[in-house]
Structure 1
Amino acid sequence: MQPIPQLSMAAAFASLISLQVGAAFAKTIYPFVGPEGVTALRIGITALILCLITRPWTLRIERSSWPNLLMYGGMIGLMNILIYRAFLHIPIGIAISIEVLGPLSVSLLSTKRKSDVVWIMFALFGVMLLPYGQSSFSLNAIGVLYAVLAAISWGIYISYASKVSHLGAGGVCIGMVVAASFGVPIGISQVGLDLFKPEILALGLTVAILSSTIPFLLDVYALKSLPKSIFGVLMSASPAVSAIAGWFILGEQLSTVQWAGIFAISIACIGATLPAYVSDKTA
């Protein structure tokens, strides 16, 4: 039986909320393990959970697919490390707004629609507004750099994700295992064996469930009946939802101008995805 479309849309939006709440919660445990430790906990525990769910060892993978899988997993790990490092220096709403420019750029560069110039301008306008904080024109340069590198990593990730998509959930699991193979050692090198304390593992499990496991399961359900284009429109709310989560959970205050910048970037993401959405509705 196919999922009810309304429930699929609700699942997709619930996935988005869980992901961004998980990101905000992850920042609350930085005092204990730092961003590298959080990365290790998230991808390490998620890899274990996905292995139990998908049993990737049952897959028959051609040798030619392994280079793509390794790059795919490498980008998963790199994205996590970079964006969590960005959270250390700038509000998560701004970090996510910069990070989504990666997939947005991939989407805009892959089409030749003249209307895309409008969405590029919206994105650039939004970026120019982000430094206008509560009392000054400034953003931590290191934090912005990490977010930009995370955006680039996300763009590369998308190109390799399309090359391993035929492997389904098992491919996602293998990618997460690859990410954990270097993300976890980096976390241990920074935190030491304290990373394996029961109370720290419990916090890491919460981050992994909110940021990866729940979104993964909800996305799989939603995409059974939602076209990817509609799913993309819903995900365009990521910058705004992350900013709200940062305010509600972390007390991160943004100026009115910064909120306008986040809104402009969200509009750019929606606009870049909307033509495919219209195509799906009229097909």
Structure 2
Amino acid sequence: MLASSVSSQSGAAIASLAFPAMGPVGVVAVRQWVAAVLLLAAGRPRLAAFTAAQWRPVLGLAVVFAAMNLALYSAIDRIGLGLAVTLEFLGPLTVALAGSRRRLHLGCAVVAAAAVVVLVRPEPSTDYLGIALALLAAVCWGCYILLNRTVGERLPGAQGSAAAALVSGALYLPIGLAALLHHRPTPGAVGCALAAGVLSSAVPFLSDLLALRRVPAHFFGVFMSVSPVAAALIGLVALGQHLPPVSWLAVLAIVAANTVAVGTESHPRGHRSRTVAKHDGPTGPGGR
């Protein structure tokens, strides 16, 4: 589980190194194509056999998947890895709290909202567009979780995720090619984008599958709350992106709110937490 989280955030950090040469759009396009190839090999979807009822959530998942990754990487380019991933984490937190009437969950929502206010507090240097992009990624992640659940109910194995990755990769063909022709990427930048695709798709996909065979799915969902902390630490060590102390406290508050919310959800035995998703494949979107 730790390898999954660190790999995902390391992939995002490496991807950011290619932004100057390729731009976020070019990097995301390469990453989507890598994800499509990997998931097609793993899921082997029988596309011709899909019904209209199966295609609808798959297409919705593909659009959300594409928008989520572009919004997140664009946010990382503007406001840094730690802050972008923390704000994006509001997506699964909202899904976990939606519809709950428990006072504990209401308290979690209040804590998370207060932490967000601290993180986005107006300052002369505040990048509001970057914050908006991170929040858009959060909305997409929440939609992804709900759509992924529907896809999982209607299609066996990883077929739905693989089909969504294929469609998402196809959507990026004209956009990605135009971006790459405009930016003229260097070999090093392409290597970073490919590495990001592997680290944020293949490694988490395999790690999650292995982890979910050994630990309860609910515990897995709680553990994934470390992702914003991992992102902030990797951003600090690898990219030199410093968060002020008050922002660190806000990050930890959002992590704590998510941990409590997920840890106190009622789950049928053996049912996987809906807030887990964030990788390519059956355990979440590769957007991480």
What TM-score, normalized by structure 2, do the two folds share? 0.86
- Which piece of structure 1 moves more, 20-29 or 46-55? 46-55
Q: Does structure 2 conserve the Cα–Cα contact (< 8 Å) formed by 1:127 and 1:261?
A: yes
1:114-141 C-alpha deviation (Å, 9 max, x unpaired): 21011112201211221469xx575200
Change (3 A) 1:49 1:29: same
Does residue 143 in structure 1 map to residue 95 in structure 2?
Answer: no
Alignment match, 1:165: 152
Q: Shift of residue 42 of structure 1?
A: 0.6
Gaps of 5+ in 2: 271-288
Amino acid aligned to 1:181: A
- The partner residue of 2:78 within 69, 80, 89 is 89
Does residue 86 of structure 2 align to residue 72 of structure 1? no
Instruction: Give the AA of the match of 1:143.
Output: G
Partner residue, 1:34: 23
1:60, CA displacement in angstroms? 4.1
**Distance in 2 separating the partners of 1:44 and 1:278:** 35
Structure 1 residue ranges (4+ consecutive) displaced by more than 4 angstroms after TM superposition: 193-200, 277-281
1:211 corresponds to which of 200, 218, 223:
200
Residues 190 and 17 of structure 1: CA distance in aligned 2, closer, same or farther (over 3 Å): same
Q: Alpha-carbon deviation of 1:278?
A: 9.2
Aligned partner (choices 36, 42, 48) of residue 47 of structure 1: 36
Deviation at 1:105, TM superposition (A): 0.6
Of 199-208 and 150-159, deviating more is: 199-208
Structure 1 residue 249 displacement after superposition: 1.0
How big is the shift at 1:57?
Answer: 3.4
Instruction: Structure 1: give runs of 5+ residues left out of the alignment.
Output: 1-11
- 1:227 paired to 2:216: yes
Cα 1:193–1:144 change in 2 (3 A) is closer
Q: Does 1:116 align with 2:102?
A: no
Which digits, 9 at most, give the CA deviation of each residue in 1:118-170, with x for residues without a partner? 1112201211221469xx57520010010111111111111111101143222
CA distance in 2, matches of 1:58, 1:102: 30
**1:172-251 paired onto structure 2 within 5 Å:** 172-192=161-181, 199-251=188-240
Q: Which amino acid aligns with 1:165?
A: G
2:143 to 145, 156, 166: 156
- Equivalent residues of 2:43, 2:161 under 8 A apart: no
Give the match's secondary structure for 1:56.
coil
CA distance in 2, matches of 1:168, 1:195: 38
State how far apart, in whole Å, the 2-side matches of 1:257 and 1:191 are: 39
Deviation at residue 192 of structure 1 after TM alignment:
1.3
- Residues 3, 207 of structure 2: 8 Å contact kept: yes
Aligned partner of 2:279 in structure 1 is none
**Counterpart in 2 of 1:263?**
252
Alpha carbons 1:132, 1:257 under 8 Å: kept: no
Tell me the distance in 2 between the aligned counterparts of 1:95 and 1:196.
24
- How has the CA–CA distance of structure 1 residues 29 and 200 changed in structure 2, closer, same or farther, with 3 Å as cutoff? closer
Whether the 8 Å contact between 1:39 and 1:184 is mirrored in structure 2 is no
Identity %: 32
More displaced, 76-85 or 105-114? 105-114
Deviates more, 1:246-255 or 1:196-205: 196-205
Once the two structures are superposed, residues 192-247 of structure 1 have per-residue CA deviations (whole angstroms, 9 ceiling, x without a partner) of: 18768755443222111111110011112222343332111111111111000111
Kindly tell me: are residues 268 and 29 of structure 1, through their superposed partners in 2, closer, same or farther at Cα, counting changes over 3 Å?
Answer: same
More helix per residue:
1
CA contact (8 A) 1:35 1:85 kept: yes
